[in-house]
Chain A
Amino acid sequence: MGVGIKVEHLNAFYGKTQALFDVNIVVQANHATALIGPSGCGKSTFIRCLNRMHETIPEARVEGTVHIGDLSVYNGTSATQLRRRVGMVFQKPNPFPTMSIYDNVAAGLKLNGFRKRKQLDEVVEQSLHNAALWDEVKDSLHKKSGASLSGGQQQRLCIARALAVQPEVLLMDEPCSALDPISTGKIEELIFQLKEQYTIVIVTHNMQQAARVAEFTGFFLLGKMIEFDKTEKIFTKPSDKRTEDYVTGRFG
């Protein structure tokens, strides 16, 4: 089951440059929340703060508090434990190039020390089903490498890989930006189904996509969260002028 996310007074920095300014947000469990905004506005930085990927960059740091369910992200939780509960799908599909399809999906469990063959088989199959990839790859699980799949398949493989660790939250950082419309459609369909089991936060440049998949939408501008509301409201009657300008295409 998904859990809610609560972010309070979040500030993020790259060295001396501040990238996020006092972001506050409450994400509902088992819903999809989209984050939109022009390039460089801090959306990606923001979701990378949710699973502490931000701090893997040299000299990057974070202030403020984030709660994911009952877990305090920046207080008493190790980054590795946290990331097993908060999965992530990246902008460019990044399967492990030397691993087979099966090993890619099983990687999260195997590398964390889980080695029971039979259960691994089940998890891999279930995850590939959930990522709508099973039918396309079931005959070549061990024969083909993850890198030999098409771009759209690779991205669904990465989703399956993230699901295999059984997270509660799934973060997606522009998961369709490198994909063609058909693959994008498949992934959007997937997001609809995944909502039942996971809380989803998705960064997207594509406003139609935000409108299609998300119940809630946040608008970022220059590192600040300008507006956060029901998707319908953001796209029809935004309360902030800057949001309106952005969603109507007057800038950005």
Chain B
Amino acid sequence: MTGVAVLTVLLVLLPLVAIFTYLVYKGIGSINLAFLTQTPKPVGEAGGGMANAIVGSMVILAIASSLGVPLGIGAGIFLSEYGRNRYGDMVRFVSDVLNGVPSIVVGIVAYGLVVMRQKHFSALAGGVALAIMMIPTIARTTEQMLLLVPQSTREAAYGLGVSRWRTTLSITVRTATSGIITGVMLAFARVAGETAPLLFTAFGNQFWNWKTDQPTAALSLQIFTYAISPFDEWHRQAWAGALVLIVLIVSAVAAVRIAVRHGTLSGA
């Protein structure tokens, strides 16, 4: 029995390890200071890098998180604490359907909502697209984590004369914090690598751009463009970009986990 368990663990870890080693093998050679600090060079010129795409990805993800995380957690709190009724069931159903909508369709929605109005592609549009994708995952995991908090914990707070909303925020959500963070990080990691919803929202950019209402480069877009190009140099850079993307996602998740672990012990 133990043997079977160990075997399945190995089978689960194998793809992850394989992907990561292959990425390192293919990508590490092209990672250098220029790659991390320079913008892409024109075709035919050697060198150049993805610095603008790295920053662009961060900007887009920051916009997506600042929209998607509060909305998702808010919806999750509603579903768990106030949504034990038909309206809640409706929200639950809609959110599950939204979770299944293909990411390219979400991109079209953001195109209609933001790009059409602004009249040009932008980091904001990309952020909105990714936020829409984050919301259902965060809402449903937040709901599940809050439901795991025993009723007796809520009653303890009520019994002290603490109001219902205060109990929800300071007791229930706080008790479920680590679970909620897991949900947020899952949603974050999932959208961080998304390409399709950015194709006609953030659009990509060969140059530095610091404005959120202008077309913005993103790592995933850059990898896509470079990978389907006919140039060997660009292929190598695409591998390097993929490696950087994975490292960034893993370090973001790890950083949040460490921060939360220190935060929850220090008290209210």
Give the interface of A toward B (CB within 8 A).
51, 53, 56, 58, 79-85, 87-88, 90, 92, 94-100, 102-103, 107-108, 110-112, 142, 158, 161-162, 165
In chain B, positions 94-140 with a C-beta closer than 8 Å to chain A are: none
Question: B160 to A81, Cβ gap below 8 A?
Answer: no
B156 within 8 A of A: yes
Question: A112 to B267, Cβ gap below 8 A?
Answer: no
Question: B160 to A111, Cβ gap below 8 A?
Answer: yes
In chain B, positions 41-94 with a C-beta closer than 8 Å to chain A are: 84
Q: A53-B155, A90-B156 are in contact. Are A83 and B161 (CB under 8 A)?
A: yes
Q: How far is the CB of B157 from chain A (nearest CB, A)?
A: 7
With a cutoff of 8 Å between Cβ atoms, the chain A residues found around residue B162 in the complex are 80, 107-108, 111-112
Interface of B is mostly: helix
The segment from B29-37, B171-179, B206-214, B238-246 found at the interface with A is B171-179
Question: B264 to A107, Cβ gap below 8 A?
Answer: no
With a cutoff of 8 Å between Cβ atoms, the chain A residues found around residue B159 in the complex are 51, 53, 83, 87-88, 90, 162
Q: A94-B150, A98-B175, A103-B268 are in contact. Are A82 and B156 (CB under 8 A)?
A: no
With a cutoff of 8 Å between Cβ atoms, the chain B residues found around residue A158 in the complex are 156
Question: A99 to B268, Cβ gap below 8 A?
Answer: yes
Question: B161 to A84, Cβ gap below 8 A?
Answer: yes
Cα distance, A56 to B158, chains bound together (Å): 9
With a cutoff of 8 Å between Cβ atoms, the chain B residues found around residue A92 in the complex are 152
Q: How far is the CB of B152 from chain A (nearest CB, A)?
A: 4
Cα distance, A95 to B153, chains bound together (Å): 7
Question: B171 to A161, Cβ gap below 8 A?
Answer: no
With a cutoff of 8 Å between Cβ atoms, the chain A residues found around residue B155 in the complex are 53, 56, 90, 94
Question: A165 to B156, Cβ gap below 8 A?
Answer: no
* 5 A-B residue pairs with CB within 8 Å: A53-B155, A83-B158, A83-B161, A85-B161, A100-B267
Cα distance, A104 to B111, chains bound together (Å): 49
In chain B, positions 145-173 with a C-beta closer than 8 Å to chain A are: 150, 152-153, 155-163, 166-167, 170-171
Q: How far is the CB of A126 from chain B (nearest CB, A)?
A: 16
- Having A53-B155, A83-B160, A96-B157, one finds 15 other A-B pairs with CB under 8 Å, namely A53-B158, A79-B158, A84-B161, A87-B160, A97-B153, A98-B177, A98-B264, A102-B267, A107-B171, A108-B160, A108-B161, A112-B160, A142-B267, A162-B159, A165-B161
Question: A111 to B267, Cβ gap below 8 A?
Answer: no
Cα distance, A94 to B149, chains bound together (Å): 11
Cα distance, A56 to B162, chains bound together (Å): 13
Q: A56-B155, A103-B268, A110-B268 are in contact. Are A98 and B174 (CB under 8 A)?
A: yes
Q: How far is the CB of B189 from chain A (nearest CB, A)?
A: 25
Q: Please name the residue on chain A nearest to B166 by beta carbon.
A: A111
Task: Report which residue of A85, A103, A110 has the largest number of chain B beta carbons within 10 angstroms of its beta carbon.
Answer: A110
With a cutoff of 8 Å between Cβ atoms, the chain B residues found around residue A112 in the complex are 160-162
Cα distance, A72 to B171, chains bound together (Å): 29
With a cutoff of 8 Å between Cβ atoms, the chain A residues found around residue B153 in the complex are 94, 96-97
With a cutoff of 8 Å between Cβ atoms, the chain B residues found around residue A85 in the complex are 161
Question: A84 to B156, Cβ gap below 8 A?
Answer: no
Question: A96 to B175, Cβ gap below 8 A?
Answer: yes
Question: A58 to B163, Cβ gap below 8 A?
Answer: no
Cα distance, A162 to B154, chains bound together (Å): 14
Question: B157 to A81, Cβ gap below 8 A?
Answer: no
Q: How far is the CB of A90 from chain B (nearest CB, A)?
A: 6
Q: Please name the residue on chain B nearest to A88 by beta carbon.
A: B159
Cα distance, A18 to B152, chains bound together (Å): 23
Q: How far is the CB of A6 from chain B (nearest CB, A)?
A: 21
Task: Report which residue of A98, A99, A161 has the largest number of chain B beta carbons within 10 angstroms of its beta carbon.
Answer: A98
Question: B163 to A96, Cβ gap below 8 A?
Answer: no
With a cutoff of 8 Å between Cβ atoms, the chain B residues found around residue A82 in the complex are 161
